[in-house]
Structure 1
């Protein structure tokens, strides 16, 4: 699980906007870019190439 202190300093690498945890806490959402950055083994993968598009209902458009 991502600590709040880490979440507070993380930013979207694309737009530099804030990110928030997904409901399942398996990714970080940038609502400005509509991208989800995955979290693997409690490590956020903050690479634009690894991000998935965000659907309107707040979930990824791709299955993991």
Structure 2
């Protein structure tokens, strides 16, 4: 994931910061507990496509 792209991307729901999870190839919004997949190097920033993260799941 390009560092400059990470600097400008925000959560589409709350406009908060995202954390890159390299192992899972996801962008994580800790505030909304959503994980946005990265497919073929392109972040899928759609709320309906995001995976809900369990409260006990390590971020």
Where do 5+ consecutive residues of structure 1 fail to align? 60-64
Give the length in aligned residue pairs. 58
Q: How does 1:1-64 map to 2 (within 5 A)?
A: 2-55=1-54, 56-58=56-58
CA apart distance, 1:23: 4.1
Alpha-carbon displacement from aligned partner over 1:1-51 (angstroms, at most 9, x marks no partner): x10100010000000000011141511000000000000000000000000
Structure 2 distance, partners of 1:23, 1:6, is 14
RMSD: 1.4
Provide the secondary structure at the position in 2 that maps to 1:33.
coil
TM-score in terms of structure 1 length: 0.82
Task: Give the whole-Å Cα distance in 2 for the aligned partners of 1:5 and 1:25.
Answer: 20
